């Protein structure tokens, strides 16, 4: 089974590489053709019909070369799909390096991979040492379960940033709780991943070896939004596990949207206007549904279903309230240390601005309690994945909450 999994993943990656290279060649060809057309048009104004034979020759040669290179890349991918392998190796998805590569791929184009290469974008699952495990394989069962959700283009290995033990490993040793790290396809819509999380936690609650009395969710960046969305969905459906959630901790989550995605959305709309830049605009528009959801922090299907995803007008945004009876915590960061430095207000932690991470914007507001927040000056977005101050806050927040009373 391990050999079959490895072979399938390697061959799918090889085919994807060939297809993407062929697509890149086609994009370069389109740019070349657009620039050449503009040049020959200008030359034609000066020399008239005499430029036509040169133009025809150029187009024929250039088109032929690009066609040969693109076809060769696609053919190589198809051949590799049938022959490529890494004998005596673990499947890429179960190694740190391979999982990292797949994490980036799924973050960028994971919605497309889920349809065309599902072996590279598996379902949401708990992971231990890179391997998917069932709930009963997570370790010593406790009546408290703390679940960790990574962010965009990440996997569960991201929690070990810097090489130290993860929050999950330390908290499991310090508190009477079991911990679990989740891997998911971050290129899917946030609401789609939320549905998968709700189903995973429902199965977990049913299969847990001892009665669960408390669940806590900790999410980095997109992971925090998925946690909120899953709880909203589960509470609306009356799922039993939603009634056990006592804490949701969001680490650098863009509750009010991420400026980089907002910028890319506008830039891509401009690039597709001109033939010379249209391939670049189309490339940017290939970004995944998960990335697009970060534009406004979209948590529900209604924020994207049946809407023009490329429209420049602001999309309808459904505000999702915090789950009643649950302590919600947030952590923000700023690259600069001085709170009065205007650069901090512009760049935040590099990806998420402080107002968005704390849910306090001018037009929108998430009702976090200010005392339930932590801010890290002189830190970036990825510092939050493994930081001493964040660990101490997590230990304090999770230890302070009392579990639900036994029935």
pLDDT per residue over 127-156, tens digit each? 999 999 999 888 888 999 999 999 999 999
Quick one: pLDDT at residue 154? 95
Q: Sort strands 178-183 and 125-128 into parallel, antiparallel or unpaired.
A: antiparallel
Q: Looking at the domain assignment, is residue 76 inside a domain? A: yes
Ranking 67-81, 224-238, 255-269, 373-387 by mean pLDDT, the lowest is 67-81
Q: How confident is the model at residue 62 (pLDDT cuts 50, 70, 90)?
A: low
Q: Is the dihedral of CA 238, 220, 256, 399 positive or negative?
A: positive
Q: Looking at the domain assignment, is residue 239 inside a domain? A: yes
Domains contained in the chain, number: 2
Q: Average pLDDT, stretch 231-252?
A: 96
Q: Do both 136 and 38 map to the same domain?
A: no
Quick one: pLDDT at residue 382? 95
pLDDT at 215 over 70: yes
Quick one: pLDDT at residue 405? 45
Q: Do both 251 and 157 map to the same domain?
A: yes
Q: Do both 40 and 173 map to the same domain?
A: no
Distance, in Å, from the CA atom of 97 to the CA atom of 107, rounded to the nearest integer, reads: 15
Q: Looking at the domain assignment, is residue 283 inside a domain? A: no
Q: How confident is the model at residue 257 (pLDDT cuts 50, 70, 90)?
A: very high
Q: Looking at the domain assignment, is residue 264 inside a domain? A: no
3-state secondary structure 302-343: HHCCCCCCCCCCCCCCCCCCCCCCCEEEEEEEECCCCCCCHH
Q: Do both 13 and 79 map to the same domain?
A: yes
In the chain, % of residues over pLDDT 90: 53
Q: Do both 146 and 187 map to the same domain?
A: yes
Q: Do both 159 and 39 map to the same domain?
A: no
The DSSP-derived string for 3-69 is HHHHHHHHHHHHHHHHHHHHHHHHHHHHHHHHHHHHHHHHHHHHHGGGHHHHHHHHHHHHHHHHHHH
In degrees, rounded to 5, the angle at the alpha carbon of residue 358 between the alpha carbons of residues 389 and 310 is 125
Distance, in Å, from the CA atom of 13 to the CA atom of 348, rounded to the nearest integer, reads: 35
Could you read off the pLDDT of 186-204 as tens digits, one per residue?
999 999 999 999 999 999 9
Q: Do both 164 and 223 map to the same domain?
A: yes
Farthest-apart Cα atoms in the chain, separation: 91
Q: Looking at the domain assignment, is residue 265 inside a domain? A: no
Q: Do both 188 and 326 map to the same domain?
A: yes
Strand partners, 128: 131
User: The domain spanning residue 158 has which CATH number?
Assistant: 3.40.50.1820
Q: Looking at the domain assignment, is residue 187 inside a domain? A: yes
Mean pLDDT of the chain: 85
Owning domain of residue 359: 120-257+318-400
Q: Looking at the domain assignment, is residue 329 inside a domain? A: yes
Both tokens of residue 174?
Answer: 């310090």
Q: Do both 190 and 139 map to the same domain?
A: yes
Q: Average pLDDT, stretch 41-45?
A: 63
What kind and span of H or E run contains 98?
A: helix 96-116
Q: Looking at the domain assignment, is residue 300 inside a domain? A: no
Q: What is the pTM of this model?
A: 0.88
């Amino acid at each position: 089974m391990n050999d079959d999994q490895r072979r399938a993943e390697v061959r799918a990656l090889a085919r994807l590489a060939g297809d993407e290279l062929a697509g890149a060649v086609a994009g370069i060809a389109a740019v070349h053709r657009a620039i050449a057309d503009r040049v020959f048009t200008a030359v034609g104004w000066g020399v008239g019909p005499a430029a036509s034979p040169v133009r025809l020759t150029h187009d024929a040669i250039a088109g032929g070369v690009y066609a040969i290179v693109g076809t060769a890349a696609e053919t190589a991918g198809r051949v590799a799909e049938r022959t490529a392998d890494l004998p005596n190796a673990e499947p890429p998805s179960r190694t740190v390096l391979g999982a990292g590569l797949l994490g980036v791929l799924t973050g960028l184009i994971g919605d497309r991979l889920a349809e065309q290469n599902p072996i590279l974008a598996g379902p949401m699952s708990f992971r231990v040492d890179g391997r998917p495990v069932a709930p009963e394989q997570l370790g010593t069962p406790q009546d408290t379960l703390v679940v960790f959700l990574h962010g965009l283009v990440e996997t569960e290995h991201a929690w070990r940033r810097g090489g130290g033990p993860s929050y999950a490993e330390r908290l499991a040793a310090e508190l009477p709780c079991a911990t679990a790290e989740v891997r998911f396809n971050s290129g899917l819509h946030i609401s789609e991943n939320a549905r998968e999380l709700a189903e995973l936690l429902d199965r977990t609650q049913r299969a847990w070896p001892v009665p669960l009395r408390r669940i806590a969710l900790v999410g980095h960046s997109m992971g925090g939004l998925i946690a909120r969305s899953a709880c909203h969905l589960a509470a609306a459906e009356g799922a039993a596990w939603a009634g056990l959630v006592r804490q949701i901790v969001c680490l650098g989550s863009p509750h009010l949207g991420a400026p980089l995605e907002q910028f890319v959305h506008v830039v891509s709309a401009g690039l597709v206007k001109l033939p010379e830049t249209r391939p670049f605009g189309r490339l940017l528009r290939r970004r995944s549904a998960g990335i697009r959801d970060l534009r406004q922090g979209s948590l529900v299907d209604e924020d994207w279903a049946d809407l023009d995803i490329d429209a420049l007008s602001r999309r309808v945004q459904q505000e999702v309230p915090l789950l009643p009876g649950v302590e919600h915590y947030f952590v923000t960061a700023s690259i600069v240390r001085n709170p009065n430095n205007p650069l901090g207000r512009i760049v935040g932690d590099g990806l998420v601005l402080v107002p968005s991470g704390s849910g306090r914007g001018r037009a929108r507001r998430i009702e976090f309690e200010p005392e339930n927040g932590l801010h890290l000056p002189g830190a970036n977005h990825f510092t939050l994945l493994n930081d001493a101050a964040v660990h101490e806050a997590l230990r304090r927040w999770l230890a302070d909450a009392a579990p639900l009373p036994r029935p």
